[in-house]
Amino acid sequence: MFNALQNIPVPFLLLLATVLEVGGDATVRLAIYQHVGLTRIALLLGGAALLLGYGSFLNSAPVDFGRIVGLYVAMLFIVWQIINWLVFKTIPGLPVLLGGVLVIAGGLVITFWHTAEA
């Protein structure tokens, strides 16, 4: 199965991993703070499955993990804010937006700045 995933374009794998991670985190948060009983257990199990999917897709990308993590973190910030707005109805304030610009810029530098190897 993992060999088949390596034929998927890396940006798509990263986007899928990002959506699964943020979705899993949001599902676990909903379970902990807004539900009880069997609903809580079901949401926790669903969140765990989403987080397992995130780890599987992220680690199946056939690239150097140290470089791809920059692009992943930048995408993670963006998707996190979208899910935060859609699920929790929270609009990011100025500190989050300014910090996010730095996160995205740093992620792009890590991913795309190539130096000559000695």
DSSP 8: S
Helix (H, G, I), strand (E, B), or coil: what is residue 10? helix
* Residue 93: predicted pLDDT: 96
3 — pLDDT class (breaks 50, 70, 90) = confident
pLDDT tens readout for residues 70-101: 888 999 999 999 999 999 999 999 999 999 99
**What would the mean pLDDT of 3-23 be, rounded to a whole number?**
86
In the structure encoding, which two tokens stand for residue 50, read together?
Answer: 């989403």
Q: Residue 1 above 90 pLDDT? A: no
Each residue of 29-71: pLDDT tens digit?
999 999 999 999 999 999 999 999 999 888 887 777 777 888 8
Distances in Å between the Cα of 55 and the Cα atoms of 65, 92, 105 are 12, 26, 24
Q: Can you give the pLDDT at residue 116?
A: 67
pLDDT of residue 118: 46
Backbone φ and ψ for 36, nearest 5 degrees, come out as -135, 170
pLDDT at 117: 64
User: Does residue 87 contact residue 114 with C-beta atoms inside 8 Å?
Assistant: no
Rounded to whole angstroms, the Cα distance separating 39 from 56 reads: 26
Query: For residue 38, what are the contacts with CB-CB under 8 A and spacing of at least 6?
Result: none
CB 57 within 8 A of CB 20: yes
* Average of per-residue pLDDT across 9-17: 88
Q: Which residue has the higher pLDDT, 8 or 29?
A: 29
Q: Where are the domains of the chain?
A: 2-112
